[in-house]
Amino acid sequence: MGKLVWIASYPKSGNTWIRAFLHNYIRQPAAPYDINRLTDLTASDVNAERYIRYDPRPASQYSVADVQRMRPLVQRDLMALDPSLVFVKTHNARLLVAGAPLITPEVTAGAIYVVRDPRDIAVSYSRHRGQSIDDTIAFMANRQAATGGTDSKVHEWLGTWSLHVESWTARPDPRVHVMRYESLIAAASATFGPLIGWLGQDPPPGRLDRAIRFSSFAELRAQEEDRGFNERVPEATGRFFGAGQPGHWHSALTPAQRARIEHDHAAAMQRFGYL
């Protein structure tokens, strides 16, 4: 059984983009990989179907303690998906909840962590949640923020944006490969290339460039417009793949909204060059 490589991020930070890139790089398809098949190589740690094996009740009836009791068992089960490495998408912070880790160390080989300017996240995440920007800013500053708890998705614990980022990146760890979303946009080859290197390969330029091209935002948006995207939630008020360009917050946030985000997350923003 293979250990887990987490593809981790706060929501709307580029997690799906990384998954699309990995599918295009690893599978080397003749045409861009179908965005509705991104579970071919990447599992989810909050899929309720994996928990029903241990508790047959509807997952919406699980308490937080129930989920935390089962979570290490489910993450152990994920190791059986591949004999080498298993890529697992998560928006969980790397924290202890109800006395158990959200990310089980014993089954973990490493993690790819993507960080994005929280001002841009506030704009994008508000559309995804179907809530106002002000509500989303408050959610991003809530230490108890969580999603899930439905029949299809168990609890996923985010905490604040700052806490999420710090939980994954505060301690230097060669097993955690940290990437800035903005660098993926500005210098794709120079950012995706080291990711493949971290995974233990020397990426051939042609293969790398093709995977980057096949997973560009223009391609992802075009696929969503043509056939929809099965991970877009019903409450979303726009497309899952938006403009994707850094700095959208300049025209979307009021001065007061910008100031609140910068006050709430100043230390982490400074650390990653956003202030």
Give the pLDDT confidence of 192-242 residue by residue, as tens digits: 999 999 999 898 889 999 999 999 888 888 888 888 877 767 766 666 766
Closest CA to 2 of 104, 93, 85: 85
CB 166 within 8 Å of CB 268:
yes
> 3-class SS at 248?
coil
Give me the count of residues in the chain: 275
> Taking the CA atoms of the chain, what radius of gyration do you get in angstroms?
18
Rounded Cα distance between 103 and 176, Å, is 13
pLDDT less than 50: residues of the chain: none
Q: What is the pLDDT of residue 223?
A: 87
CB 121 within 8 Å of CB 12:
yes
Q: How far is CA 189 from CA 42, 186, 247, 251, in A?
A: 22, 9, 21, 29
Rounded Cα distance between 56 and 198, Å, is 39
Q: What does DSSP say about strands 100-101 and 96-97: parallel, antiparallel, or unpaired?
A: antiparallel
Q: Give me the domains of the chain, ranges plus CATH numbers.
A: 3-116+151-234 (3.40.50.300)
Element spanning 69, H or E: helix 64-78
Closest CA to 109 of 129, 83, 139, 137: 83
Q: What is the pLDDT of residue 92?
A: 98
Q: What is the pLDDT of residue 80?
A: 93
In the chain, count of helices (H) and strands (E)?
12, 9
Q: What is the pLDDT of residue 74?
A: 97
Q: What is the pLDDT of residue 237?
A: 65
- Sole residue written with tokens 């490969």: 177
Q: What is the pLDDT of residue 227?
A: 85
pTM for the whole structure: 0.94
Cβ count near 131 (within 10 Å)? 15
